[in-house]
Amino acid sequence: MTNRVLIKGVEAVALGALEGGCDCYFGYPITPQNEIPEIMSVELPKRGGAFVQAESETSAINMVLGASAVGKRAMTSSSSPGISLMSEGFSYLIALELPCVIVNVMRGGPGLGGIEASQGDYFQAVKAPGHGDGRFLVLAPASCQEAYELTAKAFELADRYRNPVMILMDAILGQMKESTVLKKLNIKSITKDDWALTGAKGREARIIKSLFLDSAELAERNLKLKKKYEQMEKEVRFESILDGNEEVLVCAFGSMGRIAKESVLKLREKGYRVGYFRPITLFPFPKKALSSIFEKNNSLKQILVLELNCGQMVEDVMISVCGKAEVISKFYPPSVLPFPEDIEREIKKCLRKVYFVSPKV
């Protein structure tokens, strides 16, 4: 029997975490993600896990650090301002190579901003989650089903790379209810016997630290982490709609991806030559996949990048496309949510420009 339920995106995250084997949850209340701690406070104790509502986000992330150091699957969730508070902890988790899952249900910023949909934390998540040279593996779901599945998978990925994994989503996806199938997912458990702190019984004592005063040792450490990020390239995921005849490619992630997809599908039905590309891993960014689309398709002249911020992902798109096409950034600051018709208009503008430059029809 299919276990199909009607749930919110944040509920899907909580249920996905339980499916992914989450043992411990630590967090601090903030809108729009409070359903996650509320569900965890009931479900984790039932399963022998631990739930603590911390006195701040800084404490919560360091509780995650402790639980992860002793080999448990630990997570926290928050929204933009709370994520900023956790930054120092993020940097330590990366440096200490401690796996964990962090969910950011983004709200509008900067500052207190608002609680409406935003993708304003793209740079923070993808480029610099904390000080130093560290990175997260970042997954951006676009539906409740995907939020459920990616959150579960995030625990396996975190353990595999011994690195934090962030689920980056926004208030629309978090608070929207959708039909979701609570599938049994084959989430692998990865041994931590070789590094976790369990008490020095029958072995040498272990030290998990990030202080390396010897500069050569520190450089080596950074290069080791860098190598790990390169290995994460294996995990690149994206969704695309392409048949090789497109003239314009629309690129968007998360909720914005959903809106853009609808516009693209409608225009394609009418015969417009427009394609769709939605990165699911934001780090590593699907650079090679995006670049190869332009190598294979000579008619493709433009890429329209849509975001619910003032233009952030567009920079990664520019690096990926690397002069092979014109990159057009159309951005919507927090709380300004476009309708599919608005996006159709933007796509048509691009197409007109393509025809003007190289009339083919």
Partner 1 sequence: MLKESLFRFPKSLKRTNFHYCPGCHHSLVHRILCEVIDELNLRERTIGIASIGCACFIYNYIDVDMVEAPHGRSCSAGTGIKRARPDLIVFTYQGDGDFAAIGLGDSLHAASRSERITAIMINNTVYGMTGGQASPTTVIGQKTTTTPFGRKPEEQGYPLKVVEILSNFEGVAYAARVAVNNPKRVMETKKAITKAFLAQLEDKGFAYVEVLSACPINWKMDPVSATKYVDKLTEIFPLGVFRETF
Residues in the site for partner 1, rule: CB under 8 A?
23-24, 26, 50, 52, 54-56, 58-60, 62-70, 72, 74, 88-89, 92, 96, 197-202, 205-211
Q: How far is the C-alpha of 278 from the C-alpha of 259, rounded, in Å?
A: 11
Query: At 196, is the secondary structure helix, strand, or coil?
Result: coil
Residue 335 contacts by C-beta under 8 Å, 6 or more apart in sequence? Answer: 108, 114, 116, 117, 118
Tell me, what amino acid is at 321?
Answer: V
- Of 64 and 293, the one with the shorter C-beta distance to partner 1 is 64
Torsion of CA 112, 113, 115, 118, to 10 degrees: -130
Pick the closer one to partner 1 by CB: 206 or 352. 206
The residue (of 206 and 345) whose beta carbon lies closer to partner 1 is 206
Residues 6+ apart with CB under 8 A from 189: 21, 156, 159
What is the DSSP code string of 122-181? HHHHHT-SSSSS---EEE---SHHHHHHHHHHHHHHHHHHTSEEEEEEEHHHHH-EEEEE
5 or 208: CB nearest partner 1: 208
Is the distance from CB of 326 to CB of 305 less than 8 angstroms? Answer: no
| Cα dist from 301 to 30, 182, 223, 294, whole Å | 43, 41, 37, 8
Residue 67: which of 9, 110, 128, 26 has the closest Cα? 26
Q: Which amino acid is at 340?
A: P
The residue (of 58 and 291) whose beta carbon lies closer to partner 1 is 58
Between 204 and 243, name the residue whose CB sits nearer to partner 1: 204
Judged by DSSP in three states, 258 sits in helix
In the complex with partner 1, the residue whose CB is nearer, 21 or 113, is 21
Which residues lie across from 144 on neighbouring strands? none
Nearer to partner 1, 199 or 359 (CB): 199
For the purposes of burial, counting CB atoms within 10 Å of the CB of 211, is it exposed (0-12), middle (13-18) or buried (19 or more)? exposed
For the CB of residue 94, give the shortest distance to partner 1 in the complex, in Å. Answer: 12
